[in-house]
Structures are given as structure tokens and as C-alpha cells.
Amino acid sequence: MNTLLMVVVLVVSLIPLPARERYHVPIARADDRALAYQLPYVDIDVAENDFGPGRNSLHLVAVTAVPGQQAEIIDETTVRIHIDWAGYLAYPAAYDPVMGRVAYGTYTVSNGYARSQARWTVWYVPDMRV
């Protein structure tokens, strides 16, 4: 009986346990925001569409922007982009005002064990009255 009990304990101790959720790799997904009016800055909650072991476990660890633009981390999930309206990349349309991509860059989220990177983009789509 003791031998059987020892064998059962040994077998149970050798069975691998499933990985806990906190060790899952986070998945960052691209974020796009459209502005109808020229604002000095825009805040994007980049973690709202990212996946991880739990929304509260994801936090921003890095953010970048193209030269001439400025982006900063406001809190653990939000990026603030300061927009330079003097020289943004525009795609001319058949009407005025011109619309196009204002700013873009990347951000990195982490759950403490792994990291994932995605891009953020701000578009200018003016409010057109017909």
C-alpha cells in the first residue's frame, strides 16, 4: 500500500502544470485615430485593443514618433501625441482642405515577462459641410 501511494505521488509530481496566464505573450494591435479638427495634441488609449493575460497587466514601456513629431507616455495605457500642423504628410484630395496622415510611430506594451510592439497613426479628416 505504501509503495502504491509513493508511485501515485511520484507520478502526480511529474505531471507538468499548465502555464499560468501571466506568462502568456501580450499582443499589441495597431491604433488609428481620425481628427475632424486641428487639435494641439491627441491622447490614444493604445492598450484598449491589445491582448494580454489581463488588461490591468499590460503597461506601456516605450513610445516613438517620426522625426518632427513628439509622443509621450501619459499613464500605463495612454500615449499623448503633440501634433505639428506646420508640416504633416498630406494626401491631396479633389477638395480643400487637404486631408491625410498627421503623425505616426510605434509603442511597446509589456506584461512584465514579455513585450509586444505595434504602430499608432493619427489622421486628419476634416469636417466637411455639404
Q: pLDDT digit string (tens) for 28-37?
A: 999 999 988 8
Structure confidence at residue 88 (pLDDT): 58
pTM of the model: 0.71
Which residues is 72 bridged to in the sheet?
Answer: 80
Report, at the CATH architecture level, how domain 21-124 is classified.
Answer: Sandwich (2.60)
Task: Give the CA count within 13 Å in the CB-facing half-sphere of 77.
Answer: 13
Q: How confident is the model at residue 23 (pLDDT cuts 50, 70, 90)?
A: low
Taking the C-alpha atoms of residue 105 and residue 48, their distance in angstroms, rounded to an integer, is: 17
Helix spans in the chain (H): 2-14
CA distances from 79 to 19, 51, 72, 74, 109 (A): 31, 17, 6, 6, 11
Structure confidence at residue 72 (pLDDT): 93
Q: Which residue has the cell 487639435?
A: 39
- pLDDT tens by residue, 57-103: 788 999 998 887 899 999 888 999 998 877 655 555 444 455 677 88
